[in-house]
Amino acid sequence: MTKKLLCLFLAMICVLSLCMTGCSKPADDTTGSTAASSTETIPTTADTTPTEEDTSWKADNTLKILTIGNSFSSDCMEYVYHIARVAGVKKVKLGNLYQGGCSLERHLGYAKGETAAYTFYTCETGKWVTKKEYKLADAVVSDDWDFVCFQQASGSSGLADTYDDLNALMDIVEPLCLNKNVEFLWHMTWAYQGDSTHDSFPKYESKQDVMYNAIVNAVQEKIISNSRISRIVPNGTAIQNARTSYLGDTLTRDGYHLSKDEGRIIAGISMVAATVGVDWEKINLSAISSDEKFLKVALESAKNALEKPYEITQSQFVK
């Protein structure tokens, strides 16, 4: 009898133990547990590869810009390499097809005649290399450019009827482009300094505001409606914005060419922002200029021009 009672007692203890174990909460059954988070989708390399909507430069993080211009394109491009590198682009190649004062009409004539009329400046290490007696076609086929940028000669930049040669010029350039996804840009240049002695200034009553408004009107009339131009580099407005700051009307070195540092840096920022974009809050240009106050104006002026390319935005840095 005693042996039977002992067996019954032991059996009851085992049953009670099993019941308690079955009702207790598992140790890892908590809100936000590791087990729950392990079922979330983790991005793979394929999720971050460029899509068809990305511009071609993103595929290899190499930016290639060719400008077909004159001294104003030289001003614009001077600092582009360094600004693009600071903006995060790994490799940069720039080309500037230059002839002083060259208009769209003259570019078209040189292209049709296959005339070696240009100096071809290139930059892919931070230093510019000069090649003389260059043809337009040779510059276009020298690389698979992501962007090809056109502009009008400064004296005619506010005369809309002088823009009519652009399409014919693009008709020649486009078939030569090795990159079939190339984008065409328009460089909207700046008005002369108020006291400029340039011989074309009287076309605009020798008034800066008249010239600026004429440039804006010409671009709005002839360029915005041109579907072949994908983007506008609004340096005319970026420079005008900066002129409302403490810098005043001091951004040229001779009344029309940009000052070698301040003016050119502003123009370069606009070019980079228009092509690859700029993180306005994070970009650090201290390696390009040690003048922190000026850099605030430069970034502000370019940013506002990108946001409002056809109107002047008053700078907040007036003192």
The structure tokens 């207790």 sit at 24
Binned at pLDDT 50, 70 and 90, residue 29 comes out as very low
Q: What are the angstrom distances between the C-alpha of 182 and each of 64, 65, 164, 229, 232?
A: 10, 10, 22, 11, 15
Distance CA 26, CA 35 (A): 12
Instruction: Examine residue 314 and state whether it is found in any structural domain, yes or no.
Output: no
pLDDT at 60: 76
Is residue 175 domain-resident?
yes
- Answer whether 103's CB lies under 8 Å from 83's CB: no
Angle at 298 between CA 212 and CA 150, to 5 degrees: 50
Residue 21 lies in a domain: no
Q: How far is CA 68 from the centre of its chain?
A: 17
Q: Decide if 269 is inside a domain.
A: yes
Q: What percent of the chain has pLDDT over 70?
A: 82
**Residues forming a β-bridge with 187:** 233
Out of 25-39, 50-64, 75-89, least confident range: 25-39
Tell me which of 8-12, 220-224, 238-242 is least confident.
8-12
Predicted confidence at residue 61, as pLDDT, reads: 79
Burial grade of 81 (CB within 10 A; 0-12, 13-18, 19 or more): buried
pLDDT digits (tens, 9 = 90+) for 232-278: 999 999 999 999 999 999 999 999 999 999 999 999 999 999 999 99
- Indicate whether 176 belongs to any domain: yes
Domain with 81, as residue range(s), is 57-307
The larger pLDDT score, comparing residue 25 to residue 128, is at: 128
Examine residue 317 and state whether it is found in any structural domain, yes or no: no
What letters, b where the CB count within 10 A reaches 16 and e where it falls short, cover 166-176?
A: beebbeebeee
- The answer on pLDDT for 59 being more than 80 is no
C-beta neighbour count of 17 within 10 angstroms: 10
CA distance 103 to 112: 14
Task: Report how many domains make up the chain.
Answer: 1
Average pLDDT over residues 134-145: 98
Percent of residues in the chain assigned helix, strand, coil, to nearest 5: 45, 15, 40
Could you tell me the CATH number of the domain that includes residue 99? 3.40.50.1110
pLDDT at 240: 98
Do the domain assignments include residue 253? yes
Mean pLDDT of 134-150: 98
Residue 222 lies in a domain: yes
Confidence band (pLDDT; 50, 70, 90) for 315? very high
Confidence band of 56 (pLDDT split at 50, 70, 90): low
Average pLDDT over residues 298-315: 98
φ/ψ of residue 65, rounded to 5: -125, 130
pTM here is: 0.82
